């Protein structure tokens, strides 16, 4: 190997060692001009190739070009590494503290979570403690114990997501409402009872601006001696005032649910019309009896409210479908 070639190899080694010691981008630029730039040693060797003896010229020329290529790619690699170090905020990387800060993107609660929390807060002030029930429910609790037999027309709207791997006599389905917890809770607990049951429910539903096939409900159940429909009315009224403010206009009108007698629905005035936000009523005497209590002594009321509807009222949202489209333009407003 000629001394020329040896010198070039040493130069390459030196360059690589120097490059690896560099830890900021400015110094990398200086390194580049020193080792591969127009005024570098390599460049001058190339420029002076004609002074090299004829028989070595070709080899030296090729070697210089190969070294140049290697250094060039080592240089690019180093820049890359430094960029990555920047991200990891490596302590030895110079940081320009005069640059404007990067806004941090904080997560937030989904509006439905916020509305649900607010609902449970208000209900807790009214004396209801919250408890959850199963989302996959048996047909017995979802329907039969609530006085909705197989051939009842209410099942049509609630003929929903049935789960395959379940008992044919008492099949499982995604619950259509939170009312099954009325029965489950009554089976295990004695009056006085005041519970709020939050949870997701699923329906066989053609979606539109006020209907979704999945939604959240909060069920309330109060069982005690001497509970009358005026307690129901007073509770719902207080609830509405706490949730929507004292100028909220609410209306109770007759409705039918097999597990209450009488049944009502509560609507709130919204965007020029009445929006139904819950079904309610006095717990049916048969249900009290089935739980082992005398319905002439124990009475109670129940209600099931739709949290998406409540959220629509809270923030003046005209279409329920916005909640689950995962559109950040919408979600970022909360
Ligand atoms: N479970 C009923 C529904 O989903 C609402 C309701 C609850 C009605 C409790 C009366 C009493 O529509």
Residue 147 Cα to ligand 1 midpoint, Å, equals 12
pLDDT at 316: 93
pTM (two decimals): 0.70
Which atom of ligand 1 sits closest to the CA of residue 278?
5
Please work out, in degrees rounded to the nearest 5, the angle formed at the alpha carbon of residue 275 by the alpha carbons of 249 and 141.
Answer: 115
- Ligand 1: does its nearest atom lie under 6 Å from the Cβ of 133? no
What is 111-331's CATH topology? Answer: BirA Bifunctional Protein; domain 2 (3.30.930)
Is any atom of ligand 1 closer than 6 Å to the C-beta of 281? yes
Q: Which stretches of the chain drop beneath a pLDDT of 70?
A: 1, 86-93
- Give pLDDT tens digits for 269-302: 988 999 999 999 999 999 999 999 999 999 999 9
**Could you give the C-alpha distances from 329 to 102, 214, 325, 334, in angstroms and in order?**
20, 22, 10, 10
Which residue's CA is the closest to the ligand 1 atom numbered 12? 279
User: Is the minimum distance from the CB of 177 to ligand 1 under 6 angstroms?
Assistant: yes
- So what's the pLDDT on residue 97? 84
Closest atom, ligand 1, to C-alpha of 146 = 1
Tell me what pLDDT residue 168 has. 77
d(Cα 277, Cα 248) in Å, to the nearest integer?
Answer: 13
- The ligand 1 atom at the shortest distance from the C-alpha of residue 201 is 4
Q: Of ligand 1's atoms, which has the minimum distance to the CA of residue 182?
A: 9
What pLDDT is stored for residue 93 in this prediction? Answer: 63
Distance 69 CA to ligand 1 centre (A): 76
Q: For residue 4, what pLDDT is reported?
A: 82
Which residues form the catalytic set?
Answer: 158, 177, 203, 217, 260, 302
Cα(190) to centroid(ligand 1), Å: 22
Nearest residue to 85 via CA among 23, 127, 138, 170:
23
**Measured at the alpha carbon of residue 294, what is the angle toward residues 291 and 126, in degrees to the nearest 5?**
75
Contact 304, 278 (CB under 8 A): yes
Q: Identify which of 196, 209, 192 has the alpha carbon closest to the alpha carbon of residue 300.
A: 192
Q: 304 CB less than 6 Å from ligand 1?
A: yes
For ligand 1, whether the C-beta of 181 sits within 6 Å is no
Domain ranges of the chain: 3-88, 111-331
Partners of 129 in the beta sheet? 195
Tell me whether strands 260-270 and 273-283 are parallel, antiparallel or unpaired.
antiparallel
Between the CA of 306 and the centroid of ligand 1 the distance, in Å, is 9
Phi and psi at 263, nearest 5°, equal -115, 150
Q: Where are the beta strands (DSSP E) in the chain?
A: 129-130, 136-138, 172-174, 193-202, 214-225, 250-255, 260-270, 273-283, 298-306
Tell me the residue ranges of DSSP E strands in 127-171.
129-130, 136-138
């Amino acid at each position: 190997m000629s001394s020329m070639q040896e010198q070039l190899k040493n130069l390459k080694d030196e360059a690589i060692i120097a490059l690896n010691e560099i830890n900021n981008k400015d110094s990398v630029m200086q390194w580049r001009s020193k080792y591969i730039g127009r005024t570098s040693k390599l460049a001058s060797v190339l420029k002076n190739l004609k002074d090299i003896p004829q028989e070595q010229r070709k080899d030296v020329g090729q070697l210089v070009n190969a070294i140049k290529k290697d250094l060039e790619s080592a240089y690019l690699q180093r820049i890359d590494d430094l960029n990555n170090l920047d991200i990891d905020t490596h302590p030895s990387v110079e940081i320009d503290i005069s640059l404007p800060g990067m806004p941090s993107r904080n997560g937030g609660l989904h509006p439905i979570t916020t509305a649900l929390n607010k609902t449970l807060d208000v209900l807790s002030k009214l004396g209801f403690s919250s408890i959850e029930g199963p989302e996959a429910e048996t047909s017995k609790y979802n329907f039969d114990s609530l006085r909705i037999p197989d051939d009842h027309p209410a099942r049509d709207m609630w003929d929903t997501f049935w789960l395959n791997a379940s008992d044919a006599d008492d099949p499982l389905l995604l619950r259509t409402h939170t009312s099954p917890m009325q029965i489950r809770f009554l089976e295990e607990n004695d009056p006085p009872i005041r519970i709020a049951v939050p949870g997701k429910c699923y329906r066989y539903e053609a979606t539109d601006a006020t209907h979704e096939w999945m939604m959240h409900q909060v069920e309330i159940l109060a069982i005690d001696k001497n509970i009358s429909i005026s307690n129901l009315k007073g509770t719902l009224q207080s609830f509405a005032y706490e949730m929507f403010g004292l100028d909220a206009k609410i209306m109770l009108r007759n409705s039918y649910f097999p597990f209450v007698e009488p049944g009502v629905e509560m609507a709130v005035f919204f965007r020029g019309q009445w929006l139904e936000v819950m079904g309610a009523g006095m717990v049916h005497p048969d249900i009290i009896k089935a739980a082992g209590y005398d319905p002439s002594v124990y009475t109670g009321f129940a209600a099931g409210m739709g949290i998406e509807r409540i959220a629509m009222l809270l923030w003046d949202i005209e279409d329920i479908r916005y909640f689950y489209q995962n559109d950040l333009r919408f979600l970022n407003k909360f």
